[in-house]
Amino acid sequence: MGERRGRRAVAVAVLVGVLATGCGKGAARAGGGESQSAAPYRSAGEIDETLAPDGTTVRVGSPGAPTVVHLYEDLRCPVCAEFETEGGGEGLHELILSGEVRAEYTLASFLDDRLGGEGSKKAANALRAALDAGRFVEYHEVLFANQPEEEVDGYTDAFLLDMASKVPGLRGEEFDAAVKGMKHRDFVTASEKAFDTSGVTGTPTMKVDGRTIDDSLAGGIFDKETLPLVIGAMARS
C-alpha cells in the first residue's frame, strides 16, 4: 500500500508539470481542442451499455462521448477492486454520467489459471448475462465491492446469484440459468484471448483513446481527484 501511495504522489507531481505546460484538465478529443460533451445521464440506470461489434468489449456510456477509456480487468484481481472501490471507479463513473467519457471493458480471466478454480470465468459470464438484462453497470459495481479474497475461488454460482439479488431487476429465470449454465462461456474465452493479444501485461490497465496510460501517470488513476487529470492529460497529449 505504501508503494501505491508513492506512485500516486509521483503521478500528481507529473500532472502538475503537464498542466503547467498547457494541458488543461477534463476530457478532450484525440484531435486536440475543447470538445462538447454528450448529454449527461441522471442515474446509473440510464447509462447506455452495449456489446461492441468485436463481441468482447463491453461499452458503457454515451456513444457520442468525446473520450474513450478502455479498462482491462480480472474480477479476482484485488488491485482492480482497489481501483473500483477506493476512488478511481467513482471518478470514472462521474465522468461517464457527465457524458464526457465512455468506458469500455475487456474482462480477463487469467487468474483462474494462476490460482486455480473458475471464479474469474464465472464472474465474467455473469456480467455478460447482466449486460443482456441491462444491468452491467450496477452488477459490476456490486461484484467488486464484495470481491472475495483473491486466493479463494469465491465467485461461485450461489455467490454470484446472491450478489445479483442486490441489483433491482436483475434476478430472473433467464439470468439465473445463464449463470448456472455458463451460457456465455464463448464470450469469456474470447475476452481472455482479446486480453492476451492486446499487448496489456496485467490488470487493471487503462487506455485513453487507444493509448496505454504512461507508467508515470498510472498511480493517478486510483484517486478520484487525479483520475480526470490523468484522462485529460492523455487525451490531449
87: CATH = 3.40.30.10
Mean pLDDT for all residues in the chain: 88
Q: Predicted confidence band at 14 (pLDDT cuts at 50, 70, 90)?
A: very low
Is residue 70 included in any domain, yes or no? yes
Cis peptide before 204 (omega within 30 of 0): yes
* Residue at 162 is within a domain: yes
Distance CA 68, CA 178 (A): 29
Looking at the predicted structure, is the pLDDT value of residue 8 above 60?
A: no
Domain, as residue range, for 180: 39-214
Categorize the per-residue pLDDT at 236 as very low, low, confident or very high, splitting at 50, 70 and 90.
confident
What SS3 state is found at 35?
coil
Angle between helices 136-145 and 157-164 (to 10 degrees): 120
Q: What does pTM read for this prediction? A: 0.86
Q: Give the residues across from 70 on adjacent strands.
A: 104, 207
In contact, 35 and 27? CB cutoff 8 Å:
yes
- On whether residue 1 sits in a domain, the answer given is no
Does residue 186 lie in a domain region?
Answer: yes
For the chain, the maximum distance between any two Cα atoms, rounded to a whole number of angstroms, is: 56
pLDDT of 28 > 80? The answer is no
In a domain, 32, yes or no: no
Produce one character per residue of 145-170: b if its CB has 16 or more CB atoms within 10 Å, e if not.
eebbebeebbbbeebbbebbeebeeb
Q: What percent of the chain has pLDDT over 90?
A: 80
Tell me 41's DSSP state.
P
37 pLDDT band, cuts 50/70/90, is low
Residue pair 205/141 in contact by the 8 Å Cβ criterion: no
pLDDT tens figures, 104-134: 999 999 999 999 999 999 999 999 999 999 9
Residue 23 lies in a domain: no
**pLDDT for residue 23:** 31
Task: Taking residues 37-64, report their average pLDDT.
Answer: 93
Q: What is the pLDDT of residue 180?
A: 98
In a domain, 7, yes or no: no
Name the nearest CA neighbour of 67 among 200, 233, 191: 233
Give the closest residue to 67 by CA, choosing from 41, 104, 23, 117.
Answer: 104
Question: How many folded domains does the chain comprise?
Answer: 1
Q: Is 76 a member of any domain?
A: yes
